[in-house]
């Protein structure tokens, strides 16, 4: 009897150049925004208050860029990473049109690379995913790579193809959707520090911390419609590498971004995801801390009132970040580091 269920794709099911139009478009609602706020508690003023958003030229409060990322990412999971062991990294992320409650997002993914691992049991799949709104306008595009199980261990390995990915998006490719021509209220934003106050190489300990709860990270995956088995199925994962469910890496990104408010409160929007690595697994009960380093500063000729900071945010588990843990002398990640996230934020300038 033929099954009507879909087991998800395994490594040998992918081909370079293959394009997948993902199911289940998603209309973003005010309820989605409220649940995201309840899970992560971001305090950035732009995504918290209509009045503040209008002062920057928005029609109303836009949807947090990371919620947009997670929703678009979630469309891809049943086809790309349902049988994944781990999501390994990100690159080339570019944010486009602002998203508002009521917008409907759809996702298309192109397979850009494949490489079987030496154990013959898994392989790495490289993909480029594009999210658009109901008008066909780009809201986000990003590359990621994921380790996926093989169904048939005897299936021949494909010729390895590894795409060339840029280290960071240049300012010419960044979308700047707001301005401060009407004035900017640092008191309401929560910080007096603007673009000029940050120096390349500066490190910021974000001080605060959040303990991951089992119900929270699974609720987040349900919100994003991320159905990856490693986040939900304890019956299977109990027999896996760690004996328990793994927290979705994107959950850590949102936690770290929310923690970064304490030190980067005026970094109102993300403009790019330059790179990212989930360097160690996180589990319920772990307490997450974060620190950030300013990697670069950029100006815009056509937006003199807004600047960009390229930032690396590092998240740790069960370790405060006052000593900025990152890598050891041999170049490997400190064992307490769980996230290395390189992204670009937009921040007001003094004009």
Query: Taking the domains of the chain in order of start, what are their residue ranges?
Result: 11-348
CA dist., res. 26 & res. 41, Å (int): 22
Question: Phi/psi of residue 242, each to 5°?
Answer: -110, -15
Residue 70: alpha-carbon gap to chain centroid: 7
Q: What is the pLDDT of residues 234-291, one digit of tens each?
A: 998 999 889 999 999 999 999 999 999 999 999 999 999 999 999 999 999 999 999 9
* DSSP H or E run through 253: helix 249-259
* DSSP H or E run through 259: helix 249-259
Beta-ladder partners of 327: 333
CA dist., res. 212 & res. 225, Å (int): 19
Measured on CA atoms in the order 27, 127, 125, 2, is the torsion positive or negative? positive
Instruction: Indicate if the pLDDT at residue 1 is higher than 80.
Output: no
- Model pLDDT, residue 2: 64
Tally the C-alpha atoms within 13 A of residue 137's C-alpha that lie toward its C-beta. Answer: 11
The pTM assigned to this predicted structure is 0.95
Supply 25's token pair: 């478009």
- Is 11-348 a domain of CATH 3.10.129.10? yes
Q: What is the pLDDT of residues 119-163, one digit of tens each?
A: 999 999 999 999 999 999 999 999 999 999 999 999 999 999 999
Instruction: Indicate if the pLDDT at residue 182 is higher than 90.
Output: no
- 67: number of Cβ within 10 Å: 24
Q: Spell out the residues 6+ positions from residue 87 whose beta carbon is closer than 8 angstroms to its own.
A: 81, 144, 145, 146, 147, 248, 249, 250, 278
């Amino acid at each position: 009897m033929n099954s009507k269920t879909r087991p998800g794709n395994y490594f040998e099911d992918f081909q370079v150049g293959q394009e997948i139009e993902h199911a289940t478009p998603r209309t973003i609602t005010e309820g989605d925004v409220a649940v995201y706020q309840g899970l992560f508690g971001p305090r950035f003023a732009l995504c918290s208050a209509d009045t503040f958003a209008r002062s920057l030229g928005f029609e109303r409060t836009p949807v947090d860029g990371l919620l947009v990322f997670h929703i678009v990412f979630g469309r891809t999971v049943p086809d790309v990473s349902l049988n994944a062991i781990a999501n390994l990294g990100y690159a080339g992320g570019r944010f486009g049109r602002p998203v508002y409650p009521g917008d409907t997002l759809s996702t298309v993914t192109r397979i850009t690379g494949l490489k079987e691992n030496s154990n013959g049991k898994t392989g790495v799949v490289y993909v480029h995913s594009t999210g658009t709104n109901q008008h066909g306008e780009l809201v986000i595009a990003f590359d990621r790579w994921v380790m996926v199980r093989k169904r048939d261990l005897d299936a021949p390995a494909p010729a390895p193809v590894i795409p060339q990915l840029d280290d960071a998006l240049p300012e010419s490719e960044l979308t700047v959707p707001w301005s401060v021509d009407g004035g900017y209220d640092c008191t309401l934003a929560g910080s007096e520090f603007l673009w000029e106050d940050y120096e390349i190489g500066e490190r910021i300990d974000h001080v605060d911390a959040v303990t991951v709860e089992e119900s929270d990270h699974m609720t987040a995956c349900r919100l994003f419609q991320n159905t990856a088995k490693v986040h939900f199925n304890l019956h299977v994962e109990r027999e896996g590498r760690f004996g328990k469910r793994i927290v979705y890496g994107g959950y850590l990104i949102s936690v770290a971004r929310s923690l970064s408010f304490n030190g980067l409160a005026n970094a109102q929007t993300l403009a790019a995801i330059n790179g990212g690595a989930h360097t160690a697994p996180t589990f319920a009960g772990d307490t997450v801390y974060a620190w950030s380093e300013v990697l670069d500063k950029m100006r815009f000729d056509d937006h003199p009132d807004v600047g960009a900071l390229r930032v690396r945010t590092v998240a740790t588990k069960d370790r405060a970040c006052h000593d900025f843990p990152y890598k050891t002398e041999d170049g490997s990640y400190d064992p307490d580091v769980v996230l290395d996230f390189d992204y670009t934020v937009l921040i007001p300038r003094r004009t």
